[in-house]
Structure 1
Amino acid sequence: MAKPALRPEVVLIIKADCHLCADARDVVGRVTAGLGLEWSELSIDDDAGLRERYAEEIPVLLVDGVQRDFWRIDEARLLRTLRRALDQPV
């Protein structure tokens, strides 16, 4: 029996009333949908630890717990990162 492929964990950290966060949602949604991946969102408004760590960098993109981008999410870089994580040609 083959092992299921590991899927990268994609998390976007946002805050309320953030126009860059809205742009980031669009980019992350488009890239992950194209690869058949899910992603999640966390808000610094709901978590003091996240707020302390990321307040000046929102939105922040984490892939498998590693910060990969902030402020403006680069669509091409995210696609390359996720393809590498999936062992797909870049």
Structure 2
Amino acid sequence: MSGCEITVITRADCGLCTAAEAVVAAVAASRPVTVATVDVDADPELRAKYDWDVPVVLVDGRQVGFHRIDRARLERAVDSRLAARRA
């Protein structure tokens, strides 16, 4: 079974980012996914797009949440992508 990628766009000293990373880790623990963390301040394009919206969570490049990450919504997005890859 092929997995998918969860990307967390974050920044240093961000409490919401720490909370989002915990939600992502919990979802990723039971699924075949890879997790990448990207510092919004290290990439001018990402900063221009997401500066005030961090944390932002993407599943295979599609935004599924920002600010406060809803675990159930993230689980549905990941499970949907995994099911599509199996089909």
TM-score normalised to structure 2 length: 0.89
> What does the per-residue CA deviation read over 1:20-65, in whole Å, with 9 as the maximum and x for residues that have no partner?
0000000000101111322100001211111110001100001111
Q: Figure out how many residues of one structure are paired with residues of the other and give that number.
A: 84
Name stretches of at least 5 consecutive residues in structure 2 with no aligned partner: none
Hey, which of these two has a bigger chunk of strand by percent?
Answer: 2
Q: Indicate the structure (1 or 2) with the bigger Cα radius of gyration.
A: 1
Q: Which stretches of structure 1, 4 residues or longer, exceed 4 Å deviation after superposition? A: none
**Matched letter for residue 81 of structure 1:** A
1:47 is aligned to: 43
Give the secondary-structure state (helix, strand or coil) at the position aligned to 1:16. Answer: coil
TM-score normalised to structure 1 length: 0.86
Give the secondary-structure state (helix, strand or coil) at the position aligned to 1:38. Answer: strand
Q: Does 1:77 align with 2:61?
A: no
**Matched letter for residue 3 of structure 2:** R
**Matched letter for residue 13 of structure 1:** I
Give the secondary-structure state (helix, strand or coil) at the position aligned to 1:73. Answer: coil
1:68 is aligned to: 64
Q: Does 1:23 align with 2:19?
A: yes
Give the deviation of 1:80 after TM superposition.
Answer: 0.9
Q: CA RMSD in A?
A: 1.4
